[in-house]
Amino acid sequence: MEHEEVRTFISGKNVDLLPGDNLEHVNLYAKWDNDQETRHYARNIFPTPPEDYKKGIEEEKKGTPQEMNFEIYHKGDKKIIGYVGFNHINWSDRNANIGMVIGEPEYRSKDLGTEAAALIIDYGFNELNMFKIGCGMYVLNTASMKVAEKLGMQREIVYKEQAWVDGKYVDEYEYRIFLDEWKEKRKELL
Amino acid sequence: MEKKEDIPIMNFIKGDRINLTPLLQKDINLVVRWMNDPDIRTYTRNPLPRTIEEVTKWFEPKKDEMKTDVDFLIYHKNDEKTIGMVGLTDIQWLDRNANIFTVIGEPEYWGKGIGVEAGKMMITYAFEELNLHKVHTSIYSPNERSLKAAAKIGLIQEAILREEIYIDGTHVDNHKFAVFKKDWLNLKKDEEM
């Protein structure tokens, strides 16, 4: 990727967040979401061809968005390595859920996900005026759980046998952090 | 910078010799050729000619309702080539059952057990990921290859519907086969032990 094409929206130490839903990168998104290992943790159970992303991006949208996506850009390697975003933004209750995928396996377990999530949480509280931000994962997704804990999130809900994964029912967790908790936590993370 | 035409291989489900990948528009011509091929369309029940335009529509993104079909292309890993299709059709979410089909479109890959491998991967997906209760299929009487494949996969014959389908100038029987989640998961457990 050429430097001049990088449209940094939020700048971090190792990663930047760029606007997501880029028509030119639909093959990249499709590659990640359809990969057997990656989709297992993200719980994408249906195949998604690149055209599906294209259609979603091209659709006319009105009003304040209820979801938002960013590409995670590795500054050192000048490479897009995954995406992070808010899904289900609730503007009246001022809360939102985070979804994230580090699509390139060699960038996993390097705290880059924690950094990207910290950037978007900070954005959610400081710029979008959120009150509470959460994320969910099923019990076998220990990597996401660790990220949530590093971000200072608390486990708020355990849904017993909520998800059917690999032929059995497993528990799902929801984590969350409030604005006032984040004000403290951001000092050590950012 | 990634080029638009540079479509990566998407290994949605990985197998020994084959992977299952989403339907890609670059493969439309291939699928249309298979659907019209006289040697293939007999038993896949495509008695009517299929156009590129029709199949293109079928490949286009659908509305966000719960899917009634999930289709994959069968990608041969060693030969780096798309050789067939496998899928679930008529998914009934309330009853939790679906019909399975497999087509090996490239004849040089027939008789190698690839259809069996694809069928097993698809049934595992249907039970372990989609949480279906039952997967069923229809096989017409002169189709010996599919009857053998069904037995190898572990499908059990449930019924014979007499003279249900008209193929090559005569009415033939429709053999209904099925497999249940509980049996499939137990079978897999036994194999792992």
* Beta-carbon separation of B25 and A25 below 8 A: no
Partner-chain residue, chosen from A25, A45, A48, that has the shortest CB–CB distance to B2? A25
Residue B20: the pLDDT is 97
- pLDDT, one tens digit per residue, over B9-19 is 789 999 999 99
Closest Cα in chain A to B69:
A46
d(CA A116, CA A82) in angstroms, rounded, equals 10
Say yes or no: A79 contacts chain B, CB-CB below 8 A.
no
Partner-chain residue, chosen from A24, A31, A48, that has the shortest CB–CB distance to B8? A31
d(CA A183, CA B92) in angstroms, rounded, equals 49
Give the DSSP letter of residue B25: G
- The beta-strand segments (E) located in A55-131 are 68-74, 79-90, 95-102
Which residue of B5, B7, B12, B189 is the best one to mutate when testing the A interface, meaning the one whose CB has the most A CBs within 10 A?
B12
- pLDDT, one tens digit per residue, over B138-148 is 999 888 889 99
CA B68 to chain centre: 14
Domain map of chain B by residue range?
Answer: 13-192
Say yes or no: A181 contacts chain B, CB-CB below 8 A.
no
* Beta-carbon separation of A36 and B7 below 8 A: no
- pLDDT, one tens digit per residue, over A141-153 is 999 999 999 999 9
ipTM over 0.95: no
d(CA A190, CA A12) in angstroms, rounded, equals 8
Residue B1: the pLDDT is 41
B60 pLDDT more than 50 = yes
- pLDDT, one tens digit per residue, over A25-63 is 999 999 999 999 999 988 899 999 999 999 989 988 888
* Beta-carbon separation of A24 and B67 below 8 A: no
Give the residue-averaged pLDDT of A64-79.
Answer: 95
d(CA A90, CA B3) in angstroms, rounded, equals 36
Residue B176: the pLDDT is 96
Residue B9: the pLDDT is 77
Q: Which CATH class is domain B13-192?
A: alpha beta
Which residue of A31, A58, A138 is the best one to mutate when testing the B interface, meaning the one whose CB has the most B CBs within 10 A?
A31
d(CA B50, CA B22) in angstroms, rounded, equals 21
Mean pLDDT of all residues belonging to chain B: 90
Say yes or no: A14 contacts chain B, CB-CB below 8 A.
no
Give the DSSP letter of residue A4: G
Residue B105: the pLDDT is 94
d(CA B24, CA A86) in angstroms, rounded, equals 28
Domain map of chain A by residue range?
Answer: 3-133
Interface of B with A in 54-83 (CB under 8 A): 59-61, 67, 70-72
Which fold, A3-133? Aminopeptidase (3.40.630)
pLDDT band at A170 (very low <50, low <70, confident <90, very high): very high
- pLDDT, one tens digit per residue, over B88-129 is 999 999 999 999 999 999 999 999 999 999 999 999 999 999
Mean pLDDT of all residues belonging to chain A: 93
Partner-chain residue, chosen from A2, A48, A55, that has the shortest CB–CB distance to B22? A48
Question: Which residues in chain B touch residue A52, judged by CB atoms under 8 angstroms apart?
Answer: 61
CB A138 within 8 A of CB A101: no
Q: Is A8 helix (H, G, I), strand (E, B) or coil?
A: coil
